[in-house]
Structure 1
């Protein structure tokens, strides 16, 4: 190569290197932004750091299936929080939400169901529709369907 050609080739080579670094830097920024976005989706909304205390209880006859009080982020979903402390199985219904079908391996027998009470009042919706926005008690009691006939 002649000296004049070397001088012309040098800027092209430097431009290619700069372009590669720019592409790598751009890809790194895109990956970082994607990571931050995904991380925010899986972190609970902490309601500006506010917490509420929730007593989760479940009784079957004279036995206690669950009795645990936890501090959770204000605005958290009751089902999500209960699943963190107990083995919970559910069935979802349109307009009602998730209805609990099993708690820590205990399922209702024939003509029984897990009745849901929030602050000692029977809930008209399933646990997935309950927002934990204040200190409260979420209680399940194994009851007979005959009590509603």
Structure 2
């Protein structure tokens, strides 16, 4: 769960703790998660409900992982990923922040589609620029 790397263990939800216990890569974090879950002193009924919530959580996580880009997201990456300014004053680059979010949360299908959209966008803008240089500018006498 790389998206929780800066989150303190006591702030994890019960489902996040259980996920860390079951899938954690660090033995230290797994132990901390287990200790935190034990501190919460959940009843047997609450633990059973937690297991059910965890199954739903994992199913939802898997569904999101395999969801494609929406049409609007695809067009944003296609058209604007090369035209947004990167300067000292403008730090909010939609394409870059969305790409980082997809990578952080493990949205593999979206990441592949972002790369494709950016490649197609680059080709599109290259063709537009080339057409402008070779066909329009000479007719204008430039």
- TM-score range relative to shorter protein: under 0.3
- TM-score if structure 2 supplies the norm length? 0.26
Select the structure that is richer in helix: 2
- Normalised by the length of structure 1, the TM-score is 0.25
- Greater strand proportion: 1
